[in-house]
Amino acid sequence: MRKTLRLLWSIILLLGSVPYLWSSTETTFHNFTGGSDGSDPLADLLYNPTTGIVYGTTRTGGGSANCTKGCGVVFSLLQNGSGYTVLYRFAGGAGDGANPEAGLTIDANGNLYGTTYAGGAHNLGTIFKLTPIGGGQFQESILHSFSGPDGAHPLAKLALGASGILYGTTFGGGAHGLGTVFELFPSGGESVLFSFTAPAGSRPRAGVVFDSAGDLWGTTSLGGAANLGAVFRLTFNGNTWSETFLHSFTGGDGANPYAELTLDAMGDVFGTAKAGGSPACAFTAAGCGVVFEFQPSGTGFTENTIYAFTGGTDGAAPIADVTLALDSAGDQYLYGTASQAGVIGGTCPAAGCGTVFELCGIGSSCQGSVPWTEYTLFDFHGRNGGRTPAAGVLVFPPVGADEDFVRFPPNHGGCTSGCMTAPSSGGTSGNGAVDGFTH
């Protein structure tokens, strides 16, 4: 019997003795109306295991005359999906941020940190902090407004270092106008660690993540030898950060990565690319996207394509990170979303509404004839079910072959990597939904 696995797309619970898609029952936790409650959630949700509360952002909605469709909100949910509450509504303009497209980061004191794509003193985006003030309320403060040379239009969530320094990327700005990697000190001072240039890599949509050595890893959506994106690493030598571009995507191995990377304890690096892949894709000539892996090899890394999407029932165009979970034997499982394709139904366009997928690793209870075996766990159908997922899933381990049940939230684990998410569109109003699924 496979262990109970809870994926929070909300909540997906898998029970079975063989790895195939079971019928599922869906529960909608919240349909965004596009009004004061927000609309168009794009980012991973943040789960706080201490309180059992989930936090998220929406790009629009919430009101404010400074934004045509609203400047976005920060919201929370209780651990069972109930109790939707708006914690903060962005005002935009020179005094506040607007249109957050990234998820949140939390520190040990329960402070929430995030970025907005627009707003601030120069309308180029901000870094903000939400400080808990009791009674479930938060006080917002702007830590930094981007001005251009120091970066512009951040799209990704922040990484929090052990010393309290925040690290992130901007899609634009910097010395060449093609994006930056930056750091923000607790004192409020911001500095650019690296400015991207077109030949090597440019336009990062994903944030940076730490490895066990304290190096920062990330991707760029463009640049590289074929202008299809690249993987980079920033290493601190005691005084400065130096950047190394480790891989340029060529198409067959993927193209245009949008999501942050996922690292395991052995130094392996996992990620997704929105396009590219081989064999030929039934969905688009540019390729349906891939899940890739970097494995340490001597002094470098070897890149492998774990899975290439076909644009059929398996999905297409993954733009979210993958979540890594381990079973009791240490075998690896990857979970993620594809933003398009899948089974056509409901109110989905011809391209399909997207899928949730599982990749079973070597030695796992559901591995097939290839090292990483892919299974479709859920097909989105639009409207009440949401569509075009833009972010990943939260997995509550354990997974694998065991009869033990786990409670939600579990006492023995949490998010190995990746986080909870809401679809980017769909829902009864067309402005998104937070949904739960039980297998």
CATH of the domain at 278: 2.120.10.30
In this structure, of 138-142, 160-164, 193-197, 392-396, the range with the lowest mean pLDDT score is 392-396
Q: How many CB atoms lie within 10 A of CB 68?
A: 8
Instruction: Say what the pLDDT of residue 26 is.
Output: 56
Token readout for 435 is 């949904």
The CA distance from 270 to 417, in Å, is: 11
Q: How far is CA 399 from the centre of its chain?
A: 21
Q: Are 286 and 255 in contact (CB under 8 A)?
A: yes
Q: Are 234 and 200 in contact (CB under 8 A)?
A: no
Tens of pLDDT, residue by residue over 116-167, are 999 999 999 999 999 999 988 999 999 999 999 999 999 999 999 988 999 9
The CA distance from 194 to 233, in Å, is: 11
pTM (two decimals): 0.87
Residue 276: pLDDT over 60: yes
Residue 2: pLDDT over 70: no
The CA distance from 75 to 117, in Å, is: 17
Residue 328: pLDDT over 90: no
Q: How far is CA 102 from the centre of its chain?
A: 8
Residue 384: pLDDT over 70: no
In the chain, what is the straight-line distance between the N-terminal and C-terminal CA atoms, in Å? 14
**Between 85 and 2, whose confidence is greater?**
85
Average pLDDT for 205-227: 93
Instruction: Say what the pLDDT of residue 436 is.
Output: 52
> What's the structural domain count of the chain?
1
Please, which pLDDT band fits residue 193 given cuts at 50, 70 and 90?
very high
Residue 3: pLDDT over 80: no
Domain that holds residue 373: 5-438
Among 209, 266, 273, 215, smallest CA distance to 247 is for 273
Tens of pLDDT, residue by residue over 161-177, are 988 999 999 999 999 99
Among 375, 196, 233, smallest CA distance to 291 is for 375
Q: Which residue has the tokens 């830590």?
A: 143
Average pLDDT for 356-377: 85
